[in-house]
Structures are given as structure tokens and as C-alpha cells.
Structure 1
Amino acid sequence: MAAASPGGSGAAQGHPARHVLDGAYRQILDRAVQLTAPLQFKRSPSVIGIVRSSADRFLAVLSVPLSAQSRSTLSVRFQLTGNDGSPISSTDFVVGLDNALAALANDPSITDFEARGVGSPDDPASTSLFLSLASLNIDPAASVHDVQKFRQVFPIFLSGFMKTGNGKLRAYLTYYESGDTIAVDLPLAEDDAASVSTASASILGEVAALLRSGIPEHVADHEVEADPYCNRAFDLFAWFLGEAG
């Protein structure tokens, strides 16, 4: 393997611009740090290393349980640019790790895997779910300086979610002030460009605008039976798609 540099040294390779690749790698590195804990449970895989071997390539290493007492390591090699020539995302990184684990399940003898084709996930529905949640899950303490002003604009925050059907996401939104929780059925994001089926790139922004001064009449018209995890529920799926009057 070529000498690796976590900071990203290596010959620049033209397009995309080096700083674009650096930014993409930084996001992937941040995601890798989160995955140093077992991916799901104590006996699940975890990331134990990531290094950048050139401007456009990096290596991630997984620790994979073989039994309750033993683990093996699996090296997963990535290219920072996807099939369309644009940088891969942290979501694509996780897809590549998942593909590597699937290959290991089919052939337990492999120790090295080339993550090819990331950037075009096999399960677009999963990517849609991720994109929708990314749009909904905004932490004001981490993203803005004036938290109080933020809460005036966004009086609600994402407190839970459930994928409930084809293209539909139930988001549980809790009011900062009262602590009441409402459930809103929304369309999932449409594609990898993080655009959603609303007029805005932020579903949270759309919903917050609707609910800023209470529940407006045209939202109340779409009230449905609440589930055990909310005070009230509204099916706005068709409304956001422009299919309801």
C-alpha cells in the first residue's frame, strides 16, 4: 500500500478540485469516528482505522466479530470520487462498508475488499430515509449561535421517526416550550441530491413554518388517529406532494 496520510497528503489528481476532495474526506472521517463504537451491538462490526493513501483514495479497517471470543479485521478500500465523478458522501462510505460486510458473509476468508460503485446505493429507499432525517434533525446548539432565536423560527425538534410505508416517513416532532409531541406523515426525500418533495430543501423548515403559530386549519383538516407516542397526528404526505386540496 502507498504511504498513507490521515491529513490527506498525496499528489493532486485534477478534477474534482483538491479542496473538494479534502472536504468530502473530512466528512467521511467524522463519520468513521462515530463508527468506532460497534455499529449496532457489542458483537457488531466497528471501524478501527481510516487513512488516506492518496488524494483520491482512502482505506478503512473494520473489526468484525467471528465469535464471542474472537474478531478479524477487514480492509475496505475506497475511491473518493464516485461513478459520476463527484465526491462520495459519508452515506456512500457506510454503503461501502455494508457491501464489504456482505462480501465477508459470503466468503469469510477475505481480508481485503475494494468498495466499487459507491455513490449508487443498491437500496435507494434507505438513502431517501437518511436524507429526510438529515433534513429534519437539526441541533440548534451545534448549528447556530443564538439558540433562542432559532427556537422562535423552529419551535419544534425531531424526537423520533418511523418509516411507515412506501415513500412515507412519520416524524415525531416535539415542541420546545410545551413538551407536547405531534406526529406528521411526510414524503421521503426523492434523490441523492438531498432535494425533497416540498418547495424547500428542508422539510423541518416547511413544517416549522406551518406550526409556528399553532395548528393551522388546513393542517388540522388532515388530522388522523394519534399513536401511543404522540399527542396528535397529521397525515401531510399528499399535502406536501401537492396532491391534496
Structure 2
Amino acid sequence: MTEVGAERADWAYRTILARLLEFTSTLGDRSAPAVCAVVRQSPMRLLAGLMPDQDPDRRYGIELPLFRTDGTAVPWNRAIDAIREVHRHRDEYLADDRADHRFHGAPVRFVGGTPADLENEVFGLAGFSCHELTALRLYLRYHREGVVLGIDVPVPPRDGTAGAGGAFTMIELSALFRGGVPANIAERERAADRYCDRSYDLRPWFGRN
């Protein structure tokens, strides 16, 4: 990542903090992503705590980077987009209780980048292809190995039901591959095409065949 000075990092944090403070007013709104905490987790990351349905026992947190990998600051609206996206899918996000650490007793997960970004510390988007009616292949630069992976995910359905695709898919895949290719994913390797080094069919993993 491009080196960022302390003054710029402070400015980036204060900018997002000020905007997130406005969302504490939604603590009484069950449909909104109520922000119940914001702290500076590290010089380059912030932690946002969320409280669904006004229930303190269901609190959880996400960590967001203050800067992209090219050294530009994450815009405050992109950070809020990330929080909204995770909140909409919070049941899947915390389904298997995979917490990177805890904050005041609440599970916290790392988010490598914001939904609108094409790159985070795990993956960089290299391309995509909707090569079947039921499959979207994401071509992702896998920084850990220096290769391009082709990952098939289900095409989001038109009927409004749950499905993979978009920001949440990128968030989940980044969390899944952060420490290497999991054994249960390695078993789903398929023949690569000319645009990737390895390919995996993860449609069943997202619950759609």
C-alpha cells in the first residue's frame, strides 16, 4: 500500500466518524443499520459497531480500511455503503460465528475493502463473464499466490430472493480466501480457462445450483 501520513490518516478517520455519528439516530429504527460504536481500531482501520433490531445481544462489528491499496482515502459514502451491505446480509455474515476478534463482547469481522472498490488486500477484480444463465465467473487476482482465480458464483435471481452477487459476494470471498484456499473449496476446483490459472465452482456454496 502507498505510504500515508499520520495527518491524512487522522483526517480520513474524522471524516468517516462524523458521518457515522449521524447513524446513531437510527438506533430506534428496526429497519436501519443502527451504528452503536465507532473506534479507531488501528492507524489505518476503523471499527463500526452495529445493533440490529435494538437488541444489544445481537451487536456485531466490522472493521473497514481508511485507505485503498493505491493510497487514496475511502470516501465516507463508500464506507456507509459497506455497512449497509453487510447489515442487509448480517445473518449470512455472522452465520458460522467466524469472528476475527471481539469488541465489548460483540463479534467483529474484517472487511478487506468497500463494495465499490475493485481491489482489497485479498483480491483484485480482473474481469468477469456471465458464461451460463446460472453462473457468473469472477476473475480475481489472488494476491497471496500471485495468480488469477476464476470463481463461479450464482447469477442473482430476478425474483428478488436471496442470491450471491455484487458487494456481499466480494466481501465473503475475501474473508473465505484470506488465509489460503480452504480444503472444502479446493475440492471444487474445475478446469481453468485462458483467463485464469485455476477455477472453482462455488454456486453450491452460495446455496444455488
**TM-score range normalised by the length of the shorter chain:** 0.3 to 0.5
What TM-score does the superposition give when structure 2 sets the normalisation length?
0.44
Larger RCO (CA under 8 A, 6+ residues apart): 2
- Specify the structure having the higher radius of gyration (Cα): 1
